[in-house]
Amino acid sequence: MPIRILPLLSLLFLGGLLAGCEKPPESQAKPRVRPVKTLVVEGAVAGAVRRFPARIDSLNKADLSFRVQGKVKEIRVVEGQEVREGELLARLDDTDYRIVLNDRRASYDRARKDFERAKKLIKQGFISRTDYDKLEAAFKSAQAALKAARQDLAYTELKAPFSGTVAKRYVERFEEVQPKQPVLALSDTSSLKVIFDVPENIVQSIKRSGRGEHVDVWAVFDTLPDKHFKLKFLEASTRADPQTQTFKVTFVMPRPAELNILPGMTASVTVDLSKVLSGGRERLLPLTAVTADAALEPIVWMVDEKSMTVHPRKVKLGEMRGAKVEVLDGVEDGMRVVTAGTAYMADGMKVRLLPQVEQAEPRPDDLRLMLLGRCEAPAAGKGGEKAE
């Protein structure tokens, strides 16, 4: 009896092992949800009004200094004082310069008299031409030395080159100063410069408008938020900041009577480009948002926010504007499109939205590498997965 039971137990044990090796029933695979960066499409006019922080500076400013060395004898102004063009601001002790001037004047008088006698003697033949030339050269040298001494004496007085406000005083009375050492800082605040940084597309729009003639720009100050101060275009930098990839633009405004605006203060500037944008039909999208279908037709990937899936949409492109491109047809205001990873999208793919953060526009080299990477990426399958 025990002998017959052993084969049976062995068969049962073997069956248990085989049952343990069987593949468990497959659970239904959940579709993969890919995170994507997106933006909501806005019309050109809809995004035409932009605001930027700005800083205030004086239209004319200069650090004033003496052109000769000496001891400061008098400073006739204080910080914050308004002065007129040509007004005396400071004076050096001119004792030594007057002594030099008197010496040069005496040398000049002697050389002048010698030269006048030589002019008579040369006509009578009593002196040689060589001696005459020497006396003439001595006279001209003394004349130049006298002029330099007078100029040095005049340089002991520091006068205002333009009307403005004394912004800072760097030295005190009785200090010894050197030539070109800053003594006073003078600012012309009758007109103010408003300086702020803008992206590339704003600079291009301002230049295309005829140096800002058709762009409405105004400033608002915290101390008077209900008052708008219209600005006039002055200049724009042609080289981008290497860190932020933005361009510095400068506008001017008259000094407001109702506010005490000083250099170094801040303001909020509004730029309205509605007049220079053509009717709001075209939209600007990042180059990374546009890809191509199998027929090499440009498309964007639209996000259906109800089902959180993506679908391709053919578009008509216009001209490039830096890191962006005009989309003339195919998208509408309020549509959400994918801006990164478009090479891995597939029709109907489930996605989730990444939080939007402010980022600088890519530099040209970064953009070129980005596009090359997109071209070298493997084609996406139907499910949007990368080929192994």
Q: pLDDT tens for residues 243-292?
A: 888 999 999 999 888 888 888 899 999 988 776 665 445 677 888 889 98
Angle (CA) 60-61-62 rounded to 5° is: 135
Q: Where in the chain is the domain with CATH 2.40.30.170?
A: 49-59+190-272
Q: Which of 19-28, 277-286, 332-341, 366-375 has the highest mean pLDDT?
A: 332-341
Share of the chain above pLDDT 70, in %: 78
- The residue among 373 and 8 whose pLDDT is bigger is 373
pLDDT score for 136: 94
pLDDT classification of 380: cutoffs 50, 70, 90 = very low
Class of domain 49-59+190-272: mainly beta
Output the average pLDDT for the chain. 82
- The residue among 44 and 115 whose pLDDT is bigger is 115
Scan for tokens 């050109």, then name that residue.
44
pLDDT score for 358: 47
The predicted-structure confidence for 138-155, as pLDDT tens digits, reads as follows 999 999 999 999 999 999
**Model pTM?**
0.54
3-class SS of residue 167: strand
The predicted-structure confidence for 208-219, as pLDDT tens digits, reads as follows 666 556 788 999
pLDDT classification of 97: cutoffs 50, 70, 90 = very high
Share of the chain above pLDDT 90, in %: 46
Please check whether residue 304 is in contact with residue 311, taking contact to mean a CB–CB distance below 8 angstroms.
yes
Class of domain 34-44+280-376: mainly beta
3-class SS of residue 130: helix
Which whole number is the average pLDDT over 290-310? Answer: 91
Closest CA to 273 of 215, 203, 320: 215
Q: Which of 317-326, 337-346, 350-359 has the highest mean pLDDT?
A: 337-346
Class of domain 94-155: mainly alpha
Please check whether residue 300 is in contact with residue 310, taking contact to mean a CB–CB distance below 8 angstroms.
no
Which residues have a Cβ under 8 Å from the Cβ of 221 and sit 6 or more positions away? 227, 229, 259, 261, 265, 267, 268
pLDDT score for 66: 96
Q: Where in the chain is the domain with CATH 1.10.287.470?
A: 94-155
pLDDT score for 85: 93
Half-sphere exposure (Cβ direction) of 17: Cα atoms closer than 13 Å: 5
**Residue 274 DSSP one-character state:** T
Kindly give the pairing relationship between strand 351-353 and strand 298-304: unpaired
Region of residue 370 (left: phi > 0; alpha: psi -120 to 50; beta: else) = alpha
pLDDT classification of 20: cutoffs 50, 70, 90 = very low
